[in-house]
Amino acid sequence: MVNVEIKWNNFFGIRIDDLPGLGKSLTQQGWSNNNPFINYSDTHSAGSYNLNIVDDLLRSEKHGFSSPYQILFDYRGLSSFGSWGKVIVNGEYSFPLELSAHKKRAIEIFERKGWLKKKNNPAPRVKAFTQIDGLPQITIEQACYYDQVGSNLTIDMRLSEPIIIGTKKIETLRHWDMAQANLTHQLPDFELSKFANTIGVAIALTTTDSVGKKRLIKRYRGKKVAVYRDMWHLPFSFALYFDKEANNKSELDVNELIRFDLPHEFAEEMGLELNDFGPIKPIAFCRDLARGGKPQFFLEMESKLSFKELSNKAHDKTGEYKGKCQLFDHPPTQQISPELAAAIILLDDASV
C-alpha cells in the first residue's frame, strides 16, 4: 500500500477529506480531545505506539475512517463456531502499588461524576493470549472494575505526582505502562502490561430496514458515563462480569465466558429478550489502543424484530443512553465512538 500524507482532524479518526461537504459539521461536533482521561484520537494511539494509521489500525477505505483497534483474532474467516477458543482461569490480579494513589483519586472523581453505578464488580483480566489449533487461548485472572478505573480508563489523565523510572519522568499511565515494561513507543503484550486489561464486550445489533437491507443500529450515549460521552455508539456494550468463585471452573470456552453475563446485561441496557435476536456470532477479538490495549470482543446479533418494533420496545435501565435507537447512516452527521467505527469496519457489509 502506498502511504500518502493525510491531514487528520484531532479526534478519534474520521478523515475529513474523505467526507465531502461534512468537514465543517464533523469538526464542530466531533471528538475534540477535551476528555482528560482518555485520548480517543487514532493519531494519538498510533503516535504513542509507533504505528501507522493506514497499515496498523483498523481502517476502512470504503468508509473513509480508521479506529484505534488492532485485531488479535479474526473470527470472520471461520466456517463454523463450534468453539470460540479456550479460557484458562488462573489466579487474581494484583494492582500495582505505585499506582494506588492514582487509583484512589480516579475512583473519587468517577464517583463524584456519577460514573460508577455498577460499582466494583468482579471482572476477568487478560493475563496472556496465544493461538492453539487455530483458535484463541486466553488466560484470565480475577480483577475488579475499579482496577480498570485506576488504569485503562484514566490512561491519559495527568498523574498528581510524576513517577520516576530510571531516567524517565512519567506523567501519564500510558507512558508508565510502556516504561515499566522497558519499552519505548511500543504497546506492551498482555504478559508485560500491568494495567487491569479487563475484557469488554461490544455487540453490533443489526436489523433489516424497510427495503430489506441489513443495517447497523446505533444509540446516543448520555453525559453520565465514563466512556464515549455524547457520542453515537453501539446500543449494547458492556464490561464483562466474571466471578471465578461463582463460576468454579479452571477452563471454559470463550463463548461460555461471555454468555455467563449476557442475559443480565442485555435486559439492563436494552430492555429486550435474547429471543428477540438470532444466534450471537463472534466477529473479532481486539485490543483497544486508545485504552492502552484493553481487550475487546466484537460480536453480532441480528434482530428478529423489524426496526420499528425494536425501537419501540427497547429501553435503557442504566441511564447510559438517551433517545431511541436509530439506524446508522453514512456519512455520519454527528460524532461516532471509536467502538462504533470499529464495528462498522469489521462488519463492512452492514449499515450502509
DSSP-assigned letters across all residues of 67-133: ESEEEEEEGGG-S--S---EEEEEEE----GGGHHHHHHHHHHHHHTT--TT-S-EEEEEEEEEEET
Those residues with Cβ within 8 angstroms of residue 259's Cβ, 6 or more apart along the chain or in another chain: 280
- Burial label for 119, CB within 10 Å (0-12, 13-18, 19+), is exposed
In a domain, residue 246? The reply is no
Does residue 314 register a pLDDT over 80? no
Q: What is the pLDDT of residue 25?
A: 27
Q: What is the pLDDT of residue 238?
A: 87
Mean predicted confidence (pLDDT) in 27-49: 74
Q: Give kind and range of the element (H or E) at residue 341.
A: helix 338-347
**Is 63:352 a contact under the CB 8 Å cutoff?**
yes
Q: Which residue has the higher pLDDT, 302 or 127?
A: 127
In a domain, residue 95? The reply is yes
b/e per residue 208-245 (b: at least 16 CB within 10 A): eeeeeeebbbbbbbeeebbbbbbbbbbbbbbbbbbebe
Q: What is the pLDDT of residue 213?
A: 83
Q: What is the pLDDT of residue 320?
A: 81
Q: What is the pLDDT of residue 201?
A: 94
Q: Binning pLDDT at 50, 70 and 90, where does residue 158 land?
A: very high
Q: What is the pLDDT of residue 317?
A: 67
Does residue 339 register a pLDDT over 60? yes
In angstroms, the first-to-last Cα distance of the chain is: 25
Q: Which residue has the higher pLDDT, 146 or 305?
A: 146
pLDDT tens, 4-17?
Answer: 222 223 333 333 23
Report the domain count for the chain.
1
Does residue 332 register a pLDDT over 70? no
In a domain, residue 148? The reply is yes
**Rounded to the nearest 5°, which phi and psi values hold at 179?**
-65, -40
Does residue 315 register a pLDDT over 50? yes
Does residue 126 register a pLDDT over 80? yes
In a domain, residue 292? The reply is no
In a domain, residue 166? The reply is yes
Structural domain for 149, as ranges: 86-180
Distance, CA of 125 to CA of 90 (rounded, Å): 10
Q: Binning pLDDT at 50, 70 and 90, where does residue 283 land?
A: very high
Q: Which residue has the higher pLDDT, 267 or 104?
A: 104
Does residue 301 register a pLDDT over 80? yes
**Rounded to the nearest 5°, which phi and psi values hold at 78?**
-85, 140
In a domain, residue 32? The reply is no
pLDDT tens, 234-274?
Answer: 988 888 988 877 677 899 999 999 886 676 666 666 777 77
Q: Which residue has the higher pLDDT, 303 or 33?
A: 303
Distance, CA of 165 to CA of 157 (rounded, Å): 18
In a domain, residue 114? The reply is yes
Does residue 208 register a pLDDT over 90? no
Distance, CA of 352 to CA of 350 (rounded, Å): 6
Does residue 26 register a pLDDT over 60? no
Distance, CA of 123 to CA of 244 (rounded, Å): 9
Mean predicted confidence (pLDDT) in 132-136: 94
DSSP 271: -
In a domain, residue 129? The reply is yes
Q: What is the pLDDT of residue 80?
A: 78
Does residue 3 register a pLDDT over 60? no
Q: Which residue has the higher pLDDT, 168 or 271?
A: 168
Mean predicted confidence (pLDDT) in 78-83: 83
Q: Which residue has the higher pLDDT, 128 or 267?
A: 128
Q: What is the pLDDT of residue 261?
A: 66
Does residue 205 register a pLDDT over 80? yes
Does residue 229 register a pLDDT over 70? yes
